[in-house]
Amino acid sequence: MAALPQPPLVYADAVPALLQARQADGGFAETPGGDYRPDATAWATLCLDSFQLYPELSAAARGRLSAGQQPDGGIPLSADYPEAFWPTAAAAMALQGSPQFAAAHDRAVGFLLATTGQHSPREDDSPLGHDPSIPGWPWIADTHSWVEPTAMAIRALTLAGHSAHPRVQSGVKMLLDRQLPDGGWNYGNTTVYGKTLNPMPAATGVALWSLAGLAEADKVAPSLDLIARELPKLRTPLSLGWALSGLTDWRIETGDARALITDCLQRQQKFGPYGTSRLALLLIAASRSGAGNPRS
């Protein structure tokens, strides 16, 4: 462990903070002492991997994710709530690349390819502006498809080599259909009763992150402009993390990302520690944007 590269000083306190939510069986909770959460475990694993830190902890975390996998390949919130299968995409990304968990990864990918939301034909008199017929992914079984779980599934499948798969292509189409007229995304409605709804930074960032390399730049240009304008105002780890990840993957300049991330981390001293998923997402974004790369 001592030979592994260490994160820069500004993040030195953040990674151990992440590990405080680690459990004896290798999984992670959202907060120290909390219940096991597959989403927290997946993001913590991806964070450790992004900094190339503590590979033995990542392996244990993958083992915990794999232990929670259901016979259908899904990795839900818990066995008590199998319908809440939305953590599967993040778990698939965390399992990817590990020979020991290749079979678990393949089953998770198979689950994503086989799963969609409730969809219905577009109706002329619908109060909704989007096309509800385009398949994406839902948060929860037997509900409509929404932006964030669709973005996560697209990314997990793309990383697994399925970018040309019809499900990924329809997911891309769905996200573009859900893009707001002036740019950005929210949870997944564009207009309702003729009124355009508001964009949200986290949803916009994650949608852009998933579409990088899959959509043409001019199709998302207003959204890129929007999130680039919003970036300096973002203070919370989830919105800042997703905004940075989205912009980074579209190779858009993120300005002084290091200062934004540092400020965001320091705010914990006033308002309390961030949950595992949020902290991990911010640190992953830091790593990927170059702001947190030990070699930068």
Residue given tokens 């990918």 in the structure block:
109
The one segment of 12-20, 30-38, 102-110, 177-185 that binds another protein by CB under 8 A: 30-38
Question: Taking CB under 8 A as the rule, does residue 239 contact another protein?
Answer: yes
Token pair for 200: 């949200």
DSSP, collapsed to helix, strand or coil, labels residue 192 as strand
Q: Which of residues 116-155 bind another protein (CB under 8 A)?
A: 118, 126-128, 132, 138-140, 142-144, 146, 148
Question: Taking CB under 8 A as the rule, does residue 278 contact another protein?
Answer: yes
Q: How many residues bind another protein (CB under 8 A)?
A: 47
DSSP letter, residue 88: H
- Indicate which single residue of 43, 86, 111, 250 sits in contact with another protein (rule: CB under 8 A): 86
- Indicate which single residue of 35, 182, 256, 263 sits in contact with another protein (rule: CB under 8 A): 35
Token pair for 263: 């400020």
Question: Taking CB under 8 A as the rule, does residue 228 contact another protein?
Answer: no
Q: Which H or E run contains 195?
A: strand 195-196
Distance of CA 50 to the CA centre of its chain: 14
- Indicate which single residue of 200, 208, 220, 291 sits in contact with another protein (rule: CB under 8 A): 200
Q: Which H or E run contains 219?
A: helix 217-230
Distance of CA 105 to the CA centre of its chain: 17
Token pair for 187: 């949870």
Question: Taking CB under 8 A as the rule, does residue 296 contact another protein?
Answer: no
Question: Taking CB under 8 A as the rule, does residue 52 contact another protein?
Answer: no
- Indicate which single residue of 56, 195, 255, 266 sits in contact with another protein (rule: CB under 8 A): 195
Q: b/e string for 188-212 if b means 16 or more Cβ within 10 A?
A: bbbeeeeeebebbbbbbbbbbbbbb
Question: Taking CB under 8 A as the rule, does residue 232 contact another protein?
Answer: no
Residues 18, 8: contact at Cβ < 8 Å? no
Give the amino acid at 194: G
Write out the residues near another protein by the rule CB under 8 A. 30, 34-35, 77, 80-81, 83-84, 86, 118, 126-128, 132, 138-140, 142-144, 146, 148, 186-189, 192-195, 197-198, 200-203, 234-239, 270-271, 274-275, 278
